[in-house]
Structure 1
Amino acid sequence: MGYRFTVEDVAFLGSPAGEAALAEIGRLALTSASYLADVAAARRMAGDRAPMLLETVLLRRKAAIKLSSVDSWLFTDEALQQATPWQVAAHRARRFAGRVVHDVTCSIGTELVHMPGFALGSDLDPVRVAMARHNTGLPVVQADALRPVTRDAAILADPARRDSSGRRRWRPADFTPPLDTLAAVYRTRDMAVKCAPGIDPADVAWAREIELVSLDGQVRESCLWTGSLATPGVRRRATVLRSDVDAWTITDASPDDCPVTAPASWIVDPDGAVVRAGLVRHYAAAHGLAQLDPRIAYLTGDSPPPGIRAFRVVEHGRYSEKALRQVLGRHGVGRLEILVRGLDVDPNALRPRLRLRGEAEATVVLTRIGHTPTALLCKAERIPG
């Protein structure tokens, strides 16, 4: 549990005196080696205010990895943990272009600041309200998300999915506020609701479009879109954001006709957002790929899509530990990445039993093709974007 800020703390930290004190504390290294000495120095410099100053400096350093332009921002530890990465927030904000937006669970303002037009926020927590005002310069009020304080604005909401002890809540009825109640309150509004990526579509039948979003290979969230913010004719969407290549998206409105074939020159493991959104066949059709098995997400083809990490097939055959050990020994593999889908194999338990020796590095894809357990020895390659 981090330092518990008060509204008075926020007022001081946002004042010229607070900014000067933060600048002074910010010169401390605060590394694991220097931490105790630095804390003692901070207490000599700032007295009773040292804890909140130290916490703010440390949170700003941590936030720089996740958010953009945070040099003067104020955070709580919990709010920073819950904050949406700036790339994901900026992507979502683009769909609100031309709208007045009300973020009804705005927290410290990390989504609000990316909105392209007029936006306002509200939150129940007075400390977060004060921080959001400081961070964004936008109108932010203290209000319950389930008691609307605007009339015609499009709505953005991010219900809390942890209880007071920090444990995750999995049932939408246990979110704060509950999803169905939120949907009922804003049933006449256009709305986007940020949720965990594992949300069951059956639990949110009121959502017109469900978008799964990944960032640099990690599935970050699902976003539920309603009203005219949803794309006509689209129920499911996968959006893939990466730092090194352009973002792309695919929906269930795309063709999904792809064959099922034997392994070709390459194996492609689709991005997690594509898999979670149930759009593997759509992705395959878009890139001229085929499925190895209609129930498994691995794809194959002679030309992988640009900008991804794909696996060039060296050889493949029926999987058994003995057969795989022989193949790896023949190729002198000493470093092995193990990917598994469709088989009950624990890579961490399997690896030591393979008795790897040699200088070569490889990837083995373990899967089921029909009823046959199959091992595909591959070389991983980054395909130019």
Structure 2
Amino acid sequence: MAYAFSLGDVAFLRSREGGEALEACSGLGLTESSRLADVAAARRLVGPEHAAAVLETLLLRRKAEAKVDGGGRWLFTDDALQQASASPVATYRAGRLAGRDVHDVTCSVGADLVALAGTAARCVGSDVDEVRLAMAAHNCAVSGVSPVLVRADALRPVTREAVVVADPARRDAAGRRRWRPEDFVPALDELATAYAGRPLLVKCAPGIDPQAAPWAREVEIVSLDGRVREASLLSEGLATVVRRATVLRSDGSAWSITDAEPDDVAVGEAGQWIVDPDGAVVRAGLVRHYAARHGLWQLDPRIAYLTGDTPPPGVRAFRVLDSGRYTEKALRALLRRHDVGRLEILVRGVDVDPDALRRRLKPRGAGEASVVITRVGRTAVAFLCRAERIPEARDGEQG
């Protein structure tokens, strides 16, 4: 059970004494095995009244360092950190709203608010939870931004013309995920009603069904370092296309593709390479558009794997070495023929568990390879490949 912070805890953690307490306990292990020793040490160093808040803050800061820029100085609750956008994602989204007046109506501890405040003409953050709002005040201060902060229910507008940004809670009191948009807090349809006629951007899980938000004119799927992170639903006044996929990397590079681009591609036999598009492209339904951009074609019209003779820049692609109809017996022979011992297995459109298959195959060769198993028409096919990282695009090229 996560620690429940109080306003008194936040006031202490923001004080000089709190800073000294955090520093005094910063060297503790904070692992499952060291828990009892950590608690005893914290109670001795900072006293029993504040020990739990200090330990929880230090633990959450360690978790946050890989997700939130400057997270090692922030204040969090466990739920708030879990739902917080990674900083590159928050920064990208804020860039789409740069120069506008923006109101984050579910600002929580400020992960999105800090980014928005850095690009908006004017910025307001509000939340019904006074503890999270107090944490947001601290996090904004240490991040060098100063949006207006207001305690308010997201469904009771306190601004009139600003772009509205919302990130509804998607976990219940027990920490279980809520999957139905009507169970979000606040619910999607309630947000749309409360801000009817205003530009609205709602952050959701990437598996959201766009039909659940008929008011949304654009759905954007965002990935970071190859992992699909979230979806944004954009209303009229913000939308510029119907579907968009945006691919971000921690090194600062980014590219997008939309349904406004051509999608006329062929279906044919495998070329020299197989390409597995980024998950954001697949989730956004833009596989054909991506293929058309890069001169690729489809192996099968219903499968996301693409093929071609020149892979896109900056991706991990699979050079085809051999192929054949997939059966375990045939694949085992293929691996022996190519002396493969270390094996990566990728699957689409075929009911195969890669880990279970690898255990059954027991490859024993000296080399390594990737096997792409997919359906082509009604036939399951295995492609033996060598995975290669394609160099990044030169200036002027798109990734």
Is contact 1:311–1:378 with CA below 8 Å preserved after alignment?
Answer: yes
Counterpart residue number, 1:339: 346
Counterpart residue number, 1:133: 137
Is contact 2:64–2:72 with CA below 8 Å preserved after alignment?
Answer: no
1:353, distance to aligned residue in structure 2 (A) = 2.0
Cα distance in structure 2, aligned partners of 1:168 and 1:41: 35
Whether 2:112 is the aligned partner of 1:111: answer yes
Cα distance in structure 2, aligned partners of 1:356 and 1:70: 44
TM-score, reference length from structure 1: 0.97
Whether 2:184 is the aligned partner of 1:180: answer no
Q: Which deviates more, 243-252 or 108-117?
A: 243-252
Cα distance in structure 2, aligned partners of 1:212 and 1:261: 28
Whether 2:144 is the aligned partner of 1:143: answer no
SS at match of 1:267: strand
Cα distance in structure 2, aligned partners of 1:103 and 1:322: 57
Is contact 1:103–1:120 with CA below 8 Å preserved after alignment?
Answer: yes
Counterpart residue number, 1:323: 330
SS at match of 2:94: helix
1:76, distance to aligned residue in structure 2 (A) = 0.9
1:37, distance to aligned residue in structure 2 (A) = 3.0
Cα distance in structure 2, aligned partners of 1:33 and 1:207: 48
Is contact 1:66–1:86 with CA below 8 Å preserved after alignment?
Answer: yes
Counterpart residue number, 1:168: 177
Counterpart residue number, 1:86: 87
Residue identity in the other structure for 1:133: A
Q: 1:139 to 1:245 in 2, by over 3 A?
A: closer
Residue identity in the other structure for 1:230: A
Whether 2:376 is the aligned partner of 1:369: answer yes
TM-score, reference length from structure 2: 0.93
253, 277, 288: which one aligns with 1:281? 288
- For residues 1-385 of structure 1, the aligned pairs below 5 Å read 1-31=1-31, 34-48=34-48, 49-115=50-116, 116-117=119-120, 118-137=122-141, 138-231=147-240, 234-244=241-251, 246-385=253-392
List 4+ stretches of structure 1 deviating above 6 A: none
Q: How many correspondences in the alignment?
A: 383
Residue identity in the other structure for 2:73: S
1:38, distance to aligned residue in structure 2 (A) = 3.4
Is contact 1:315–1:377 with CA below 8 Å preserved after alignment?
Answer: yes
Show CA shifts across 1:11-43 (max 9, x none): 111111211221212233445565443332211
1:204, distance to aligned residue in structure 2 (A) = 1.3
Residue identity in the other structure for 1:125: D
Cα distance in structure 2, aligned partners of 1:272 and 1:251: 14
Is contact 1:133–1:139 with CA below 8 Å preserved after alignment?
Answer: no
Runs of at least 5 residues in structure 2 that lack an aligned partner in the other structure = 142-146, 393-399
Show CA shifts across 1:53-110 (max 9, x none): 1111111111111100123211111111111100100000001111111100000001
Is contact 1:124–1:144 with CA below 8 Å preserved after alignment?
Answer: yes
Q: 1:363 to 1:252 in 2, by over 3 A?
A: same
SS at match of 2:65: helix
Is contact 2:323–2:384 with CA below 8 Å preserved after alignment?
Answer: yes
Cα distance in structure 2, aligned partners of 1:340 and 1:158: 33
SS at match of 2:89: helix
Counterpart residue number, 2:396: none
Cα distance in structure 1, aligned partners of 2:153 and 2:179: 22
1:296, distance to aligned residue in structure 2 (A) = 0.6
Cα distance in structure 2, aligned partners of 1:186 and 1:32: 45
SS at match of 1:4: coil
Counterpart residue number, 2:144: none
Runs of at least 5 residues in structure 1 that lack an aligned partner in the other structure = none
Is contact 1:245–1:307 with CA below 8 Å preserved after alignment?
Answer: no
